[in-house]
Amino acid sequence: MKKKALLLGMMLTLAVTSVGCGKKEADANITEPIYEESSEEAVVGDVVDNEEEEDLPDGKVRNELTGELIDESLANQRPIAVMVDNESIALPHYGLTQADVVYEMMNSTANGEITRFMALFKDWGSIKQVGSIRSVRPTNFMIAPEYNAVVIHDGGPFYIDAYLKNPWVEHLSGGFARIK
């Protein structure tokens, strides 16, 4: 029985090898990178940037969170990252549908694995209400700086203190209340 299995394995290996042998020229092009030559290349260090500047409508820029067009007055406005509760007593949620990006993360395993949302907003001035706002965890202070976002939260456990001392963490905390 072992001899038959070994023979079958060898035959399959031979069959697969012979099928691929005739395609060496075509396969070679698949693995070789294709570069487009451009007369307007900018070299930054070892990186070549040959992207052309996009022609956008007047007064519009791209939202760095979504890629969508937004008013150019928002171009230099930092996004915010708001901590929103996801417990049933916190329903209904407010403002999440206006968020550009929403992360759902487990708060801790100690409280029934309840999750929290971290909602990122570029145009935070247009939001009428967000909530309910809850406390923050270290994970949020690791993700929000990637977006240059100011973290909006209502306190947090003692172990976030070390994260609050980092120069790349900016936040606003306190005084938020549940409303009907």
Average pLDDT over residues 99-116: 83
Average pLDDT over residues 92-119: 86
Using CA atoms of 70, 63, 91, 150 in order, give the dihedral in degrees to the nearest 10.
Answer: -120
- pLDDT at residue 9, as a whole number: 59
Most confidently modeled range among 13-27, 33-47, 82-96:
82-96
Q: Are 42 and 49 in contact (CB under 8 A)?
A: yes
- pLDDT at residue 125, as a whole number: 87
More confident residue, 11 or 73: 73
Is 60 exceeded by the pLDDT of residue 80? yes
Residue reference for tokens 């939202």:
63
Give the DSSP H/E element, type plus range, for residue 152.
strand 150-153
Q: Are 64 and 121 in contact (CB under 8 A)?
A: no
For the sheet with 171-173, list strands across it: 101-106, 115-121, 80-85, 150-153, 171-173
Report pTM: 0.65
When the pLDDT of each residue in the chain is averaged and rounded to a whole number, the result is: 77
Three-state SS at 154? coil
Task: Indicate if the alpha-carbon torsion angle 126, 129, 131, 136 is positive or negative.
Answer: positive
DSSP one-letter code for 53: P
Is 50 exceeded by the pLDDT of residue 25? no
